[in-house]
Amino acid sequence: MKNNSISYFINGLALLITICLGSNQLIGQTPVDSTNYYYNQIKDTRNINKVGKAYTYFENKTKEALKNNSPTKAAYYQELIAYSQFEMGLYNESESTTVKALQILDTEENATKTLNPRVRLYNQLGMIYRKVQDYNNSNTYYEKALTLNEKEEDDIAIITNIANNYADQNDFKKAVDVLLSYYDKSLTITNQRIKHVYLDNLGFYQSKLNLNDGLKNMTLALAFRKASKDLIGLFSSYRHLSLFYFNQSRKNLALKYGDSLEIIANKINTPVYKIGALKTRLLQNQHGSFNDFIALNDTLEKEKFQRQNKYAAIKYKVSETEKLVQEKEQNLKLIALEKEKEKNLKLFYLTLGILVTVLAILVIFILKSKHKKDKIRQVYLAETRISKKVHDEVANDVYQVMTKLQNSDTHTDDILDNLDAIYSKTRDISRENNTIDLEGNYSNALKDLLLSYKNQSVNIITRGLNDIVWEQLDSIKKITLYRVIQELLVNMKKHSQASNVVFVFNSDGHKLNISYSDNGTGCSIKKGSGLFNMENRMEAINGTIIFESKPNKGFKAKITV
């Protein structure tokens, strides 16, 4: 164990006594007659035979209280047993009994009656887990006690226990920070024992950090304890001051307080305090009393072993009471099971509601997506039909008229030129809206499209076209991209007077980016039907197209899908 663990334990023990047993107003009852007798016996763990009789008595009182439907009293009797078990070092048993007391309190319908008992029981569990060095659990129960507690002085006691946990782990800064937040309150409380323990511990932990207020607070606590003749408190004060001066290399003062410590330990006359005094002496002088220390430690371990064995017999004698408590526990488990079923049922319906909502959203999304695709497909088919009709009917008719005029002597060259222009336009319209070969190599289809707009006056350059994995795109996206690129080229041919056109293709993660730029005349962007068509097409496949142009600065577009 750590060098200071006995001191911290003694201070924490004093607070536990104060909270659990120091004020009978906390429990709303005062032990009387035989109850008063056994109440005093169970606190004095030095006489194991008397403690055993007290156990039997309070187990019977627990049984009686449960029969009379008084769970608060029954829990109180269990609380006394748990405290005694803790004093005897039976931490597992003390934990089990404390939990049993809490379970009994759960059956009390009037929650206000259980408030103070719960504070004490949570504090008890905090002390138990601290002794087995389970500091996380210890602080959890201290915090629970602090949350429920309504008395300012008990707040100070509980917060001191929390600080002791940090000190056990040599985190003195955290211990001081926790305590200082309650400093002003500590000076106003009426419970002197709690105040003195608080000041002494705060001062000692401050001294570990070489803070000036450390000695002042320890000295103040010592003065208070001398005035109240608190032997256990004086033991702690003398030990802290002895260790403090020893660490300051002030040997005379360290020995002076060490002598006072031994005197107090002999007055208390219990092995725990005698060992504490001897241990302090051994820390300062590594010879002389060592054998005495070992002998006393052996005595303490022997007594602890005897108590544990005698407790087994005591526990057997009260088996009937334990059966009753077990029945109560079973009822509590059934109630908890019903609550758990109800909770699970609510969770099931909530999950089902969420699942239905998610499925509905998913179905709506799928239907909307399908509708979009169907709409795009219908547009594509309509464009293809128009293209075929223009080619098969209008263009062929124009061609036939041109043929007749060529064979006629009445025609003029102007009429033939105009018809030729009309024929070229219809052919271009047909080509712009013809069927796209999606079954073959899409990359080649795009190349053919780009080459169809390349001539002696317009040079078209591409980069990265072959690097794109076009198979990852569905047919709707391929059709849309084809038409958008086509419209960009048509726009270039009609308006830009460009001599150089550059397409850059690249894949960025899951997105495809296509950049278009030309060196044409450019313009101030005013979106006509052509640009709107391109935007609408891209929006339909959840893509974007952004245009950029200024007069004499060329035309740019960025496609992302």
Q: Residue 335 domain-assigned?
A: no
Q: Is residue 419 part of a domain?
A: yes
Q: Give the domain range for residue 551.
A: 439-560
Question: Using CA atoms, how far apart are residues 410 and 429, in angstroms rounded to an integer?
Answer: 30
Mean pLDDT of 193-206: 93
| Selected residue with higher pLDDT from 263 and 35 | 263
pLDDT at site 118 = 92
| Tokens of residue 410, six digits | 């009445």
Higher pLDDT, 432 or 447: 447
Among candidate residues 358, 391, 424, the one where a domain is terminated: 424
Same domain, 416 and 544: no
Would you say the C-alpha torsion 99, 100, 103, 104 has a positive or negative sign?
negative
Does 330 reside within a domain?
A: no
DSSP codes, 21-59: HS-GGGTT----HHHHHHHHHHH-TT-HHHHHHHHHHHH
| In a shared domain, residues 306 and 210 | yes
The secondary structure of 381-443, three-state, reads HHHHHHHHHHHHHHHHHHHHHHHHHHCCCCCCHHHHHHHHHHHHHHHHHHHHCCCCCCCCCHH
Distances (CA, A) of 138 to 161, 257, 309, 375: 9, 32, 27, 67
* pLDDT tens by residue, 383-424: 655 655 555 556 566 666 666 666 666 556 666 566 656 655
User: Which element (helix H / strand E) includes 362?
Assistant: helix 319-389
Q: What own/partner pairs with CB < 8 Å and gap ≥ 24 does 536-543 have? A: 537/376, 537/480, 537/483, 537/484, 538/480, 538/484, 540/372, 540/375, 540/376, 540/480, 541/372, 541/376, 541/476, 541/477, 541/480, 543/477, 543/480
Distances from the Cα of 316 to the Cα of 56, 320, 329, angstroms: 10, 9, 19
Are the C-beta atoms of 551 and 522 separated by less than 8 Å? yes
Q: How far apart are CA 489 and CA 451, in angstroms?
A: 11
| pLDDT attached to residue 460 | 94
Looking at 317, 332, 355, the residue that finishes a domain is 317
Distances (CA, A) of 175 to 16, 159, 202, 203, 210: 18, 9, 8, 11, 14
d(CA 129, CA 138): 5
Query: CA 36, CA 41: separation in Å to the nearest integer?
Result: 9
The total number of structural domains that make up the chain: 3
Q: Which of 396, 424, 452 marks a domain boundary?
A: 424
Is 473 strand, coil or helix?
coil
Reference 559, options 473, 497, 441; nearest CA is 473
Asked if 166 and 23 sit in the same domain, the reply is yes
C-alpha–C-alpha distance, residues 52 and 317, integer Å: 10
* 454 and 416 both lie in a single domain: no
Q: Do both 413 and 446 map to the same domain? A: no
Q: pLDDT tens digits, residue range 118-157?
A: 999 999 999 888 888 888 989 999 999 999 988 888 899 9
pLDDT above 60 for 466: yes
H or E segment at 507? Answer: strand 500-508
Axis crossing angle, helix 231-247 with helix 251-268, rounded to the nearest 10: 160
Determine the pLDDT at residue 64: 93
**Same domain assignment for residues 348 and 258:** no
Tell me the CA end-to-end span of the chain in Å, nearest whole number.
Answer: 67
Q: Give the mean pLDDT of the chain.
A: 80
Q: What is the mean pLDDT of residues 533-548?
A: 90
For residue 466, what are the contacts with CB-CB under 8 A and spacing of at least 6? Answer: 443
Same structural domain for residues 136 and 264? yes
- What is the C-alpha to C-alpha distance for residues 264 and 231, in angstroms, rounded to an integer? 6
For residues 417 and 448, membership in a common domain is answered with no
pLDDT per position as a tens digit, 210-227? 998 999 999 999 999 999
Residues 478 and 379 in one domain: no
Sign of the alpha-carbon torsion through 230, 233, 235, 241: negative
Q: What is the mean pLDDT of residues 368-397?
A: 60
User: What does the pLDDT look like over 506-524, one tens digit per residue?
Assistant: 988 788 999 999 999 988 8
Task: For 86-128, give the DSSP string.
Answer: HHTT-HHHHHHHHHHHHHHHTT-S-GGGGHHHHHHHHHHHHHH
What is the pLDDT at residue 416? 59
| Residues 343-358: tens digit of each pLDDT | 888 888 888 889 888 8
Residue 390 and residue 511 share a domain: no
